[in-house]
Amino acid sequence: MADDVDIKKLSGPQKTAIFLMYMGEEYATQIFEKMTEREISEVAFEMSSIDQITPEILKMVAKEFVNTFEGEFKMIFESDSFIQNIVKGTLKEKEAKTILEDLEKKKQDKPFIWSRNVNVGTLAGYVEGEHPQTIAMILAHMPPEISSEIIISLPEELKGDIAMRIAKLGQISEDVVRDVDRALKLELSGAVGPGGKAGGLQVLVDIINGVDKATEDVVMEYVEEDNPEMANDIRNLMFVFEDLTSIDDMAMREILKKVEGQQLTYALKTATDEMKDKVFSNLSQRAGEMLKDDLEAMGPIRLAEVEECQQAVVRAAKELEADGTITLGKGKDDVLV
């Protein structure tokens, strides 16, 4: 795990993987016994990409779990051995073998997964020099949070063009993906296996959801001019902070459990009264009063910080939806009756 990783963008499985690897095999085995096979598979996959944990990351994750740990060192792991021991110690032989084989396949098939461990600024510098169609293919295959940071750094005149190319990207030949992946990997000293997938609207939406407001505006303006129907489809697929007012209270409470106090305070700085009411109505009286006091005492802060915290809340919501904890419905097709 890279030293400069943005800890605010760690997913739930990533945080769990970090915490369990810190706690050790015996503790991890006990936790795995309480998890489903799918959850074990997801966490094990994240463990497999970790080779070190910095004090900053460990402190944040440990604080979220136990609110006590203060680390002053890096921990180096042989993650494959760690994973095999706890998976084999938790599941029956046949089930363990299935998960470990599936994990190995995921590691081999996941293209550009190494990008999580590369300085984004350096990565963006290399990517920017490629042909726009190649850039679109690369961003469509990288993790959305990495693609979002790269597209933010691209020249203004490129952002919209790249976004349209991602939306229109069809199935890419595995050989082509492998060639580009290998070339970029060698330049940046990473490691990844082959794989191929299509781009499309959802890929673009995932990337747009992670960029700043200025970049989103540039991209959407370009798409609107080139293809108004596509722009409307993108807006329908996008889920933004204020959309949280439409989810049920149980889902909101689950989201609030995952959001750090300061992030929530900053996120509400520019929120509508409806959004604030939604949040306060799902907090305890004491927590609500503390949040109101923090909002009243908060001075001016940069709009970019507010937007970043709002995106963090949305990411938390999407993680919960991805693991089946909540449902984020948008539009008539998603209404539950």
Mark whether 14 and 101 lie in a shared domain: yes
- List strand residue ranges (DSSP E) for 54-117, in order: 75-76
Distances (CA, A) of 98 to 37, 45, 195: 10, 13, 21
Phi and psi at 128, nearest 5°, equal -60, -25
Give the model confidence (pLDDT) of 163-187 as tens digits: 999 988 877 777 787 778 777 777 7
Residues 229 and 142 in one domain: yes
Q: Which residue has the higher pLDDT, 333 or 28?
A: 28
Q: pLDDT band at 255, cuts 50/70/90? A: very high
The pLDDT value recorded for residue 191 is: 31
Is the Cβ–Cβ distance between 139 and 120 less than 8 Å? no
Please give the residue that has the higher pLDDT: either 335 or 289.
289
Structure tokens at 142: 């990288």
- Same-domain pairing of 122 and 227: yes
Share the mean pLDDT of the chain: 75
In 189-247, where does DSSP find H-type helix?
A: 201-208, 213-226, 228-237
CA distance 168 to 171: 10
Most confident residue range from 50-64, 69-83, 268-282: 268-282
Q: Name the β-bridge partners of 76.
A: 52
pLDDT of residue 283: 92
- For residue 2, tell me if it sits in a domain: no
Cβ-based neighbours of 203, under 8 Å, separated by 6 or more: 140, 144, 166, 167, 169
The answer to whether the pTM exceeds 0.85 is no
What does each C-alpha distance from 140 to 118, 134, 136, 145, 170 come to in angstroms?
Answer: 17, 10, 6, 11, 10
Residues 229 and 257 reside in one and the same domain: no
The pLDDT value given to residue 196: 39
Assigned domain for 1 exists: no
Whole domain around residue 289: which residue ranges? 241-334
pLDDT tops 70 at residue 190: no
Q: 246 with 232, same domain?
A: no
Residue 70 or residue 36, greater confidence: 36
- Based on the fold, state whether residues 125 and 215 are members of the same structural domain: yes
pLDDT at 268: 92
User: Of the candidates 237, 259, 291, which is a domain's last residue?
Assistant: 237
Q: What's the structural domain count of the chain?
A: 3
